Structure 1
Amino acid sequence: MTTDILLTGTGGFAGRIAFDIAATAKEPVHVTVAGRNRDRLRWLVTAGNGRAALFGTPARFAAYEADLLADGVPDAMIAALAPKIVAQAASVQTSQVIASRESRWARLVADGGLAITAPSQALLSIRVAEAITRSGRAISFFNCGFPDVVNGLIRALGHGIVSGFGNIAILSNAFAGHEGIASDRLKMLAHYQNLATFRQAPAERSGSTPRVFVDGAEVADVYARYRDVQLTREPAIELSGASGVPLLLALAAGKAWTGHVPGPNGLPGGYPVRLEGGALVLDLPDGVTEAEAVAFNAAYEANGGMVVEGDDVIFTGKTREALARYDAAISGGFAVADTMAAIDRFEALRASLSREAAA
């Protein structure tokens, strides 16, 4: 049986994708879930097929045991399964770090921002992207690990990338749900940093907001209009993981789709897009140019985060300052060509600080 969608990872994000595919697929689709946690892998396949039976959908699930950190495994996986689509949702850095303050690593992430985790988030996705490139196959690759930032690094390394899931799509769907309108009536530009304010109570929200357009008209006061939209302080997997499912199913079935994604084609931040002829293209509000949209999103990470500029990866603002307190060399950034060595250094720092309780 051919693999339409290869879903790598067995955590909560991958589970959300698998279970929602099982519940919503309208066309036959075969999903292979790959991961190294055998028990969790077996459960995702069992529950996926069970949910497909429960909801009467033509989705089928199979398992493939794979340790993506092991030499040669990503290449063997791509060769054995020959997928049309890869949704890479495995990460050595769990998303739960945003809700923790217990270790010195979690404290560093809280002080310096999520860009601190970008190298760790990139590790497995780069390994899978490398295997796809080496295979020479035409495979649509989606990275679910911090796509607003990591997708630009994947592209700079010379690998194809369609987009990620979540982040902007959390807000776009939450806002459309608040309005009680179909999601295609709303278009927005948003960076992952915009999520933090909507995790706060309405009275505490401040600073830059997403740009939101409803039926073509830009919303003048986003905080006021969406005052009652409240995100969980934990990863919003119920929306973020789910947001990729309609796109994956449309792509697998050769159908059109419109919505919002982070990091399309490696661009920074999130954008409205449409799927046409198997390709994902920007679907910006009238009057907004691509240059303007990219500049809006790029400004966030330029003020504090991680940016890819030509052949270099640079840490900026509070991210650079926080890293400098632990490793001055790391805070200075690295060359794109030295990405894997830099990731090794970040992983050593993460492992060390994760073992130490926060002060």
Structure 2
Amino acid sequence: MRKNTRRDRTLLIIGNGVLGGNVLDLLSWVGFDGQIVVGGRNRTAVEERVNLARLAAYNQGTNPRLAAACVDLDDVDRTAETVSRLRPDIIFNTASVQTYWRISLLPRELYQMLDRPGVGPWLPMHLSPAHRLMTAVHRSGHDSVVVNAAYPDAVNPALQTCGLAPAVGIGNVMNVVPAVRSAAALHLGVDVERVHVRLVAHHYVSNRLPAAGDTGGADYDLRIYVDGTDVTDSADTPALFRLLPTDVRRTRGRAGMYVTASSAFAVLNGLTSATPVTVHAPGPLGLVGGYPVRLSEHGIELDLASACSQERAVAVNEQGQVFDGIERIEVNGRVVFTDLATRTMSDVLGHHCPEFKVEDCHDWARELKAKYSAFEARTGVTGS
């Protein structure tokens, strides 16, 4: 990231949904040292949300520098012009064709059918807006650090195959780390302030652990530290994991998205810090899955445990993505889904896509959206 004076720093938030709004509020209340611009298709709706954040910030005693911008990612050239004009130091992307939680509005039996193969088969929905944004950023000629919230475990490595990867993601692995840390403190009988962890895990693991208390067979790499000393070998990890859906369970789904916002807040703050900050994040540097990372205004690097090489960490996440419905992401941009994912989407939605090329993601996203909308109409369910 280029150096600048903090008052000149600009953050552009793409998307005016729940997550973008939560992050906007957190940054406004704490006092982001710079300007925050929120971009979305509906200029009036964006302006109203910005005013809401501004007025709420006044109650917290802060006076954030906020602005609204009309940004339609479908218009790549216009988006590139906006990026060139605003020259944001950081762009935080929250846009998806369809939010991940929409299928949770279905009756339980239908939801479980579509949820069984994982998030992977919905990849085009998240990849398409991110692809357009990254194309626009490259066309703008401006060197922004892009932070992607849309399924970064798979979107970022898919975009890496065509040289368009965002710098890092948010959520997912970082969403589960506080719960693992809390469970470790309970399990070991120590204060949580003394406990730190390094976890390498794919989205599938971070999503399953709080629900089931296990990884479902997916691999992971976890190291637990108390007062800086590695105590992993003295912990009963399966017993520790079983505490997640019991003793440290939390509100999940759309209502629980605030923890994802807190992850984004930590990553964005890390990227504006003069000194390195260690957090967890998915999709750093175009890698598949989630890792501990070190962030600062000078850049991003992995912060793996000494016993875990980068090769081991990548292998863990590549194995984990299979549980999430993606067989592999090839270096030539070919994404191959698992048989279960392909069969489920074909049988339930009539959407048959065993594989696709990254450059074709927009067509596949349109088809998948149309198929899912038709499915909702047939089942009498109205999404929001």
Smaller-chain TM-score bracket: 0.7 to 0.9
Deviation per residue, 1:67-103 (Å, 9 max, x gap): 3234533223212311111000122211322523249
Deviation digits for residues 153-188 of structure 1 (CA, Å, limit 9, x no counterpart): 121122141111111111112233453534982211
Q: Is it true that 1:181 corresponds to 2:192 in the alignment?
A: yes
Per the normalisation by structure 2, the TM-score is 0.83
Partner Cα distance (1:132, 1:71) in 2: 9
Which of 10, 14, 19 does residue 8 from structure 1 map onto?
Answer: 14
Cα gap change, 1:98 to 1:249, in 2 (>3 Å):
same
Equivalent residue for 2:331? 310
Match of 1:287 in 2: 307
1:191 is aligned to 2:212: no
Aligned-partner Cα distance in 1 for 2:171–2:89:
21
Q: Is residue 88–residue 144 contact of structure 1 (8 Å, CA) maintained in 2?
A: yes
Deviation at 1:305, TM superposition (A): 1.5
Deviation string, structure 1 residues 133-172 (Cα, Å, up to 9, x no partner)? 1112111011111111111112112214111111111111
- 2-structure distance, mates of 1:176, 1:58: 34
Offset, 1:335: 2.4
Deviation at 1:315, TM superposition (A): 0.5
1:252–1:57 distance in 2 versus 1, CA, 3 Å: farther
> Is 1:128 aligned with 2:133?
yes
Secondary structure of residue in 1 paired with 2:293: strand
Of the three residues 217, 232, 244, the one matched with 1:218 is 232
Structure 2 Cα separation of the partners of residues 96 and 70 of structure 1 = 26
Moved more, 218-227 or 91-100: 218-227
Amino acid at match of 2:12: L
Give the letter for the 1:251 counterpart.
L
Counterpart-to-counterpart distance in 2, 1:286 and 1:57: 42
Q: Matches of 1:3 and 1:14 in 2, distance apart?
A: 18
Alpha-carbon distance in structure 1 between the residues aligned to 2:93 and 2:83:
12
CA distance in 2, matches of 1:198, 1:13: 22
- The letter of the residue matching 2:322 is A
How many residue pairs get aligned? The number is 357
- Give the superposition deviation at 1:241: 1.6
1:90-169 matched pairs, under 5 angstroms: 90-102=95-107, 109-169=114-174
Q: Which residue number in structure 2 is paired with residue 172 of structure 1? A: 177
The one-letter code matched in structure 1 to 2:202 is: H
Give SS of 1:69's match: coil
After superposition, what is the alpha-carbon deviation per residue over 1:110-131, rounded to whole angstroms, capped at 9, x for unaligned? Answer: 2432112210111211111110
- C-alpha distance in 1 between matches for 2:379 and 2:114: 14
**Superposition deviation, residue 320 in structure 1:** 2.1
Change (3 A) 1:101 1:142: same
How far the C-alpha of 1:209 sits from its partner, in A, is 6.5
Q: 1:8 to 1:334 in 2, by over 3 A?
A: same
> Equivalent residues in 2 for 1:242-281 (5 A)?
242-276=262-296, 278-281=298-301
Given that 2:11 and 2:88 are in contact with CA atoms closer than 8 Å, whether structure 1 keeps it comes out as: yes
Distance change >3 Å, CA 167–CA 329, structure 1 → 2: closer
Q: CA deviation at 1:291?
A: 0.5
Q: 1:185 & 1:71 partners in 2: Cα distance?
A: 42
CA distance in 1, matches of 2:211, 2:271: 35
Unaligned stretches of 5+ residues in structure 2: 1-6, 186-190
Q: Check whether the contact 1:104–1:358 (CA below 8 A) recurs between aligned residues.
A: no
Q: Is residue 32 of structure 2 the alignment partner of residue 18 of structure 1?
A: no
CA distance in 2, matches of 1:153, 1:104: 31
Question: Aligned letter for 2:221?
Answer: R
1:219-234 matches, within 5 Å, as: 220-226=235-241, 227=243, 228-234=247-253
The structure 1 residue matched to 2:85, chosen from 80, 88, 94, is 80
Report how far residue 303 of structure 1 moved: 4.5
Matches of 1:9 and 1:184, distance apart in 2? 35
Structure 1: which 5+ residue stretches go unaligned? none
Q: CA deviation at 1:57?
A: 4.2
| Helix, strand or coil at the partner of 1:212 | strand
Most deviating of 38-47 and 111-120: 38-47
SS of corresponding position for 1:284: coil
Percent identity over paired residues:
25
Q: Contact 2:281–2:293 at 8 Å: present in 1 too?
A: yes
SS of equivalent to 1:200? helix
Paired residues for 1:40-55 under 5 Å:
40-55=45-60
Aligned with 1:285: secondary structure?
Answer: coil
Alpha carbons of structure 1 residues 270 and 12: separation in structure 2 relative to 1, 3 Å: same
